[in-house]
Amino acid sequence: MVAYQDDFATLDPAIGYDWSNWPAIKNVFDGLLDYDAGTTLEPRLADGMPQVSSDAKVYTFKLRQGVKFQNGRELTADDVVYSMTRVVDPKTKSPGAGFYMGIQGAREFADGKAKSVQGIEAPDKYTVKFTLAEPDVTFLNKLALNFAYVVPKEEVAKWGEQFGHHPVGTGPFLFKEWQPGQRIVFDRNPNYFFGGLPYLDRVTIEVGVAPEVAILRLEKGEIDVMGDPIPAAEYARIKADPAAQKRLVQSPQVSTIYIAINTRVKPFDNVKVRQALNMAIDKARVVKLLNGRGTTANQILPPLMPGYDQAYKGYEYSPDKAKSLLAEAGFPQGFETTIACISTDPQPKLCESFQQDLSKIGIKLNIQSLASSTVIENAGTEGKVPLVWTGGLGWIQDYPDPDDFYAPLFACGSAVQGGWNWSWYCNADLDKQAAKLLGSIDKGARVTGYQALFRKLMDDAVAVPVYHGQYDIARSEKLHGNQGDFGHPEHTLRYERLWKQ
């Protein structure tokens, strides 16, 4: 029994992309690949890891034979082709379509110039072959995302746009019922093919439960897991209470919360000003304001990400040096500027902390406190806001590869209207390096390559990395699982691996 505040949107794997429905979709559906207890890929619907061509462009999968959809039909290679084509079809309106536009012919298909996607083929009943237009070693990670999960064509045809409310897949649990605004129920799939999973007979997800109430219900034993993060006020209380603390599972989140510095807005076009900002922010105080939920950041990649640079020390906290850098840049008296910040707790408090920090070096910081949708819109419009605090909107990885922190956040292609490159930074050299790294199958070379790339971003001071997040979950002592099953970096909750006394 799990409780969430917001209603679930949809369980269609091609569409659902929320904090809450992401792990629930994995109850009903599977992909070719999935992650083990850590971040290593392992085969799920595939019968072994795929053959990868030496240019990292062609990926050939053998399917596990005899896997049945929950309606009884056997899964074949045609289903994989159908599901992947469905995701890139604009009619499906999949938010994840962009992950698969690198498949040969995907763009032509999406533009209506081709009837099928050339690079997705089924040579026989149990073989699937993907051909990419450009080399991309992260393609396998992308195949492990929910968007690439396999759906049966006949069920999608039967329910049309409402497939997400009547999901049928191959997964560890069977969808049982959905009472809008109240609950969703899944039952164990007795015929599940993988690793003796799942252990639980039933998973009930209740929605509409405010976090303040969820925590009371947990203490009474009415629910087993609280799906939403623990409210800030309750967190201090739990930390102080040994009994409650036992119910807390803490895992690092693969995220970096940062201040994006708009490199196209004066005076932030001057690298010295951006560096000064990096030295002026007291990151330790931010973590303290968050009741210790997180660790301070000195670089863009989070510690769990390959390419994280242990040796790199980052900018030191030194208002004096920041002040002299500002003077060198021609602003001895400082200046006035604005930061966009979402208006839900605790973000305004953190922005006020930045305000204090910057006032010490003579910068008068105005806080623009807005709804998250408006912050996203303004940040993605060129020249609209000088600084953006990404707290509450922060980038959490989609897959464990450093490219996921470069392409969407700092590449030229994302520095466009509606993009997520809120630093509006565009460096053609770095883009070239990144493309080369995507084609490299040498893991060691990739790590050093990305270290250099992200170090350049820090030298250019395109952002102030402030802290790496932490995922706290409160659960009943009766519910068991490995730590990674409560806060897996890709899954968050892993329902299939939990068990109850």
Partner 1 sequence: MPAYILKRVLQGALSLVGISVITYLLIFFLPADPARMYSGPSATPETVARIRSELGLDQPFWVQYSRYAVRGLQGDLGFSYKLQMPVTQAIMSRLPYTLVLILAAIVVELLIGIPVGIASAMRPQSLTDRISMLLALFGASAPPFWLGLTLLYYLGFKLSLFPLSGVGPAQLVLPALTAGLGGGAWYARMMRTSTVDILRTDYIRTARAKGVTEGRVIRKHLMRNALGPIVTMIGMDVPWFLGNIVLVETVFGWPGMGRLAVEAIQTVDVPLIMGTVVITAYIVVISSIVTDISHTLLDPRVRMA
Residues that bind partner 1 (CB under 8 A): 3, 6-7, 9-10, 12, 15, 17-18, 90-91, 93-99, 101, 110, 161-162, 164-165, 179-182, 206-210, 212-213, 216-217, 219-220, 222, 371-374, 376-378, 380, 393, 395, 398, 408, 413-414, 416-420
Question: Shortest distance, CB of residue 112 to partner 1, whole angstroms?
Answer: 11
Closer of 189 and 255 to partner 1 (Cβ): 255
- Minimum CB separation from partner 1 for residue 43, in Å? 24
Q: Could you give the CA distance from residue 365 to residue 298 in angstroms, rounded to a whole number?
A: 22
Question: Which residues are CB-neighbours of 278 under 8 A, at least 6 positions away?
Answer: 314, 315, 322, 461, 464
DSSP string of 101-140, one letter each residue: TTBTTHHHHHTTS-SS-TTEEEEETTEEEEEBSS--TTHH
Looking at the Cβ atoms of 61 and 109, the one nearer to partner 1 is 109
Beta carbons of 264 and 249 less than 8 angstroms apart: no
Question: Token pair of 212, please?
Answer: 């303040």
Distance (Å, rounded) from C-alpha 167 to C-alpha 175? 7
Question: Across the strands, what pairs with 41?
Answer: 35
Closest to partner 1 by CB, 121 vs 155, is: 155
| Residue 90 or 292 with smaller CB distance to partner 1 | 90
- Give the single-character DSSP code of 198: -
- Using left for φ > 0, alpha for ψ between -120 and 50, and beta otherwise, residue 424 falls in left
State the minimum distance, in angstroms, from the CB of residue 54 to partner 1: 28
Pick the closer one to partner 1 by CB: 143 or 273: 143
Do residues 298 and 315 lie in contact, with contact meaning Cβ atoms separated by under 8 Å?
yes
Is residue 394 a contact partner of residue 469, using CB atoms and an 8 Å limit? yes
Strands in 2-3's sheet, in edge-to-edge order, are 173-179, 183-188, 202-206, 2-3, 225-226
Q: How far is the CB of 419 from partner 1 (least distance, A)?
A: 5
CB of 163 to partner 1, least distance (A): 8
The distance of closest approach from Cβ of residue 377 to partner 1 in the complex, given in angstroms and rounded to an integer, is: 5
Q: If DSSP states are collapsed to H, E and C, what string results for 317-344?
A: CCHHHHHHHHHHCCCCCCCEEEEEEECC
Nearer to partner 1, 123 or 221 (CB): 221
Nearer to partner 1, 216 or 284 (CB): 216
For the bound state, the minimum distance from the C-beta of residue 46 to partner 1, rounded and expressed in Å, comes to 23
